[in-house]
């Protein structure tokens, strides 16, 4: 292919620009896809870059082989194949490919799956794009060497445009599918720029096939799955809003920006059903705080519960990085802003850097990036900023999603322990952990306060019927599971901005989470030791309705074999709705004295009370 003429040079310049443009457009889209489905860790970035450079290395090598150089149509054919490949793989089968490779593994084998996804989705188009320049250099033999340099400069300019337009225009406004469509159409333009007249008919057929696939794909993925009422693209990934119904009754609404975690939820049918949200807010009410801050408010589940508690004289600021989540909070979760409730679109760490010193006396930290905790919000420098923004008697709640006993296999590395050490280095004095739901909730005080005083406050708060009932119920559950963090954690190495080994905070670890985590730690206020075996058997099972019922039956069976046990304490210690629900739903199956006593405790004098009302009354009467 001779580029000595001015027309050919201009055609090559257009092709070079569009190739550079598409290289970066595809890379930016690839980061979006992988971080949404496999997490945003440095490992995922490294895997993607490795695949990209492997494909470009192979493409450059192939473009320089004699067989390719002797063919006048090689680059056009390669790009046309790449466009067809993208139309089929990206627009029709991408979600199926990702779903097939979404396999939970631990150890280094977990990286095989994002690597496989990167190869399947991006190796072929990057290979074709990188074949252009060897052909260009070969075709420019006999013309000034500056021509090649100019073409490289034009390609780099295309790459700059590809990064900027994809980052600030295409993905935010049109989403991943439309951005991929732009890539395919511009690659078709590139093919036409390089194509000989003799191949126009063949290229026209390819173009028609691609356009047909583009149109057809719009009809393949038009509907929403059952329960999903909204799905879209935000600046930070794909999101879904889902309504959950049971027997036609609306039970809850949830928002998720990853394939595993529900990032925000609100459960209808009574505030007490919003257990996590109450856990997040309860210590603020317990300690009579007035100025709340939530870092990572998502779609506003906690904010909705806060507003329905109708607490006078208390205000809350919700800080959320993703503007789409804030919009969903307004439209779907019906979070209404007021002087007492404000939503702020900002990165949590940047917000703290600019926050008024000692403004907030209670903070909830619930930060996630896709399926992981953002590492810049795990270092002691981050917690120092949080410390400075809190009042001298401030308290904060931290949803770490790190169970207490989870460690790297064959090592003593405990991510939660290092987080605790980082918080301690930032200047906080007292830390307590509630591992009841395997989530590693931390309650952190700036002041030095013993556990006994926290427990005394809970008892007094729960005894005061003027306090919100849902908060009282949440704190009673907390009473039986809160404990001081292990002292040995305080001496572990802390995370810093300079060094933070990639902690076990990614969802790859979820595969064998429950097999190594105790549901409740053996503490004085908890269940007797024999009961722990039932709890741990439950923890080792997949979380499902069936396993929850089996867990409830195991607890009841143990109670029947131990008639001397205080069954009231057993039920309270397990704090398990499933046990109560099983008794109330299937009480006729349990004739033993322990079960009958438990049913009596639950029902009290009102035999006709609903299951939920009976359970609530039981805990509030303790």
Statement to judge: residues 391 and 453 lie in one domain: yes
Task: Mark which of 504, 533, 567 sits at the end of a domain.
Answer: 504
Give backbone dihedrals phi and psi of 204, rounded to 5 degrees, phi first: -65, -40
**Which CATH number does the domain housing residue 55 bear?**
1.20.1250
What are the C-alpha distances in Å from 617 to residues 240, 255, 401, 622? 36, 31, 30, 9
Cβ 591 vs Cβ 621: under 8 Å: no
Alpha-carbon distance 518 to 526, whole Å? 12
Residue 38 is predicted with a pLDDT of 75
Scanning the structure block, which residue is given the tokens 């100019």? 150
Alpha-carbon distance 183 to 192, whole Å? 14
Alpha-carbon distance 75 to 15, whole Å? 10
Statement to judge: residues 349 and 215 lie in one domain: no
Domain enclosing residue 444, as ranges: 271-504
pTM of the model: 0.72
Tell me the average pLDDT across 185-213. 89
Statement to judge: residues 313 and 452 lie in one domain: yes
Give a yes or no: residue 257 inside a domain. Answer: no
Task: Mark which of 478, 504, 530 sits at the end of a domain.
Answer: 504
Which of residues 220 and 79 earns the better pLDDT score? Answer: 79
Give a yes or no: residue 1 inside a domain. Answer: no
Residue 526 is predicted with a pLDDT of 42
Q: What is the pLDDT of residues 508-524, one digit of tens each?
A: 333 333 333 333 343 44
Alpha-carbon distance 151 to 144, whole Å? 12
Give a yes or no: residue 125 inside a domain. Answer: yes
**Which CATH number does the domain housing residue 490 bear?**
3.40.50.150
Alpha-carbon distance 375 to 394, whole Å? 23
Statement to judge: residues 485 and 420 lie in one domain: yes
Q: How confident is the model at residue 342 (pLDDT cuts 50, 70, 90)?
A: very high
Statement to judge: residues 140 and 286 lie in one domain: no
Q: What is the pLDDT of residues 279-330, one digit of tens each?
A: 999 999 999 999 999 999 999 999 999 999 988 899 999 999 999 999 999 9
With CA atoms as reference, report the closest residue to 41 among 507, 438, 406: 507
Give a yes or no: residue 227 inside a domain. Answer: no
Give a yes or no: residue 214 inside a domain. Answer: yes
> Beta strand 249-256 with 390-399: parallel, antiparallel or unpaired?
unpaired
Give a yes or no: residue 244 inside a domain. Answer: no
* CA dihedral for 201, 206, 210, 215, sign (positive or negative): positive
Statement to judge: residues 397 and 423 lie in one domain: yes
| Number of structural domains the chain divides into | 3
Tell me the average pLDDT across 446-455. 92
Cβ 54 vs Cβ 126: under 8 Å: no
**Cβ within 8 Å of residue 430, ≥6 positions away:** 444, 445, 447, 448, 449, 450, 484
Statement to judge: residues 551 and 460 lie in one domain: no
Q: What is the pLDDT of residues 103-113, one digit of tens each?
A: 655 455 667 88
Give a yes or no: residue 242 inside a domain. Answer: no
Residue 436 is predicted with a pLDDT of 62
Tell me the average pLDDT across 184-193. 91
Statement to judge: residues 425 and 277 lie in one domain: yes
Task: Mark which of 474, 504, 534 sits at the end of a domain.
Answer: 504
Statement to judge: residues 444 and 533 lie in one domain: no
Give a yes or no: residue 229 inside a domain. Answer: no
Statement to judge: residues 162 and 53 lie in one domain: yes
SS (H, E, C) 170-206: HHHHHHHHHHHHHHHHHHHHHHHHHCCHHHHHHHHHH
Tell me the average pLDDT across 158-162. 94
Q: How confident is the model at residue 605 (pLDDT cuts 50, 70, 90)?
A: very low
Statement to judge: residues 543 and 499 lie in one domain: no
Statement to judge: residues 381 and 492 lie in one domain: yes
């Amino acid at each position: 292919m001779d580029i000595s003429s001015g027309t050919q040079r201009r055609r090559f310049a257009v092709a070079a620009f569009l190739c550079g443009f598409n290289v970066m457009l595809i890379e930016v889209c690839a980061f979006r896809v992988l971080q949404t489905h496999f997490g945003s860790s440095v490992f995922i970035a490294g895997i993607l870059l490795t695949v990209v450079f492997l494909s470009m290395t192979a493409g450059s090598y192939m473009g320089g082989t004699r067989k390719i150089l002797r063919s006048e149509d090689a680059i056009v054919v390669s790009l046309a194949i790449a466009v067809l490949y993208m139309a089929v793989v990206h627009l029709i089968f991408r979600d199926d490919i990702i779903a097939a490779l979404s396999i939970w593994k631990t150890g280094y084998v977990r990286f095989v799956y994002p690597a496989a996804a990167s190869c399947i989705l991006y190796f072929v188009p990057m290979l074709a794009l990188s074949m252009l320049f060897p052909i260009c250099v070969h075709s420019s033999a006999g013309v000034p060497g500056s021509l090649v340099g100019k073409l490289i400069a034009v390609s780099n300019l295309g790459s700059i445009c590809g990064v900027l337009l994809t980052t600030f225009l295409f993905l935010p406004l049109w989403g991943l599918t439309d951005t991929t469509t732009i890539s395919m159409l511009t690659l078709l333009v590139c093919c036409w720029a390089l194509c000989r007249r003799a191949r126009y008919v063949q290229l026209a057929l390819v173009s028609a096939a691609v356009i047909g696939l583009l149109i057809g794909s719009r009809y393949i993925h038009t509907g929403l799955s059952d329960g999903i009422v909204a799905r879209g693209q935000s600046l930070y990934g794909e999101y879904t809003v889902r309504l959950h119904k049971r027997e036609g009754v609306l039970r809850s609404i949830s928002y998720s920006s990853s394939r595993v975690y529900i990032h925000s939820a609100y459960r209808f049918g009574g505030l007490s059903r919003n257990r996590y949200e109450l856990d997040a807010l309860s210590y603020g009410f317990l300690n009579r705080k007035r100025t709340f801050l939530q870092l990572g408010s998502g779609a506003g589940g906690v904010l909705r519960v806060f507003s329905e508690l109708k607490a006078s004289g208390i205000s809350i600021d919700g800080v959320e990085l993703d503007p789409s989540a804030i919009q969903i909070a307004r439209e779907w979760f019906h979070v209404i802003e007021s002087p007492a409730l404000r939503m702020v679109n900002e990165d949590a760490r940047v917000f703290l850097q600019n926050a008024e010193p000692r403004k907030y006396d209670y903070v909830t930290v619930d930060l996630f990036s896709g399926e992981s905790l953002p590492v810049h919000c795990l270092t002691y420098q981050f917690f120092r900023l949080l410390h400075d923004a809190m009042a001298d008697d401030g308290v904060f709640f931290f949803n770490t999603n790190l169970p207490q006993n989870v460690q790297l296999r064959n090592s003593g590395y405990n991510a939660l322990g290092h987080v605790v050490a980082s918080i301690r280095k930032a200047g906080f004095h007292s830390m307590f952990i509630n591992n009841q739901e395997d989530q590693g909730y931390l309650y952190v005080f700036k002041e030095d306060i013993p556990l006994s005083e926290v427990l005394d406050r809970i008892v007094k708060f729960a005894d005061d019927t003027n306090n919100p009932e849902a908060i009282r119920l949440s704190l009673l559950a907390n009473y039986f599971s809160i404990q001081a963090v292990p002292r040995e954690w305080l001496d572990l190495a802390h995370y810093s901005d300079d060094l933070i080994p990639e902690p076990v905070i990614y969802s790859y670890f979820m595969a064998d989470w429950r097999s190594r985590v105790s549901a409740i730690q053996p503490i004085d206020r908890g269940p007797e030791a024999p009961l722990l075996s039932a709890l741990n058997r439950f923890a080792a099972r997949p979380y499902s309705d069936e396993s929850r019922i089996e867990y409830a039956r195991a607890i009841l069976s143990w109670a029947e074999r131990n008639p001397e046990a205080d069954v009231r304490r057993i039920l309270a210690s397990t704090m398990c709705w499933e046990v109560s629900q099983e008794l109330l739903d299937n009480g006729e199956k349990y004739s033993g004295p322990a079960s009958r006593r438990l049913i009596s405790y639950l029902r009290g004098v009102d035999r006709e009370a609903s299951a939920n009302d009976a359970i609530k009354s039981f805990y509030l009467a303790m």
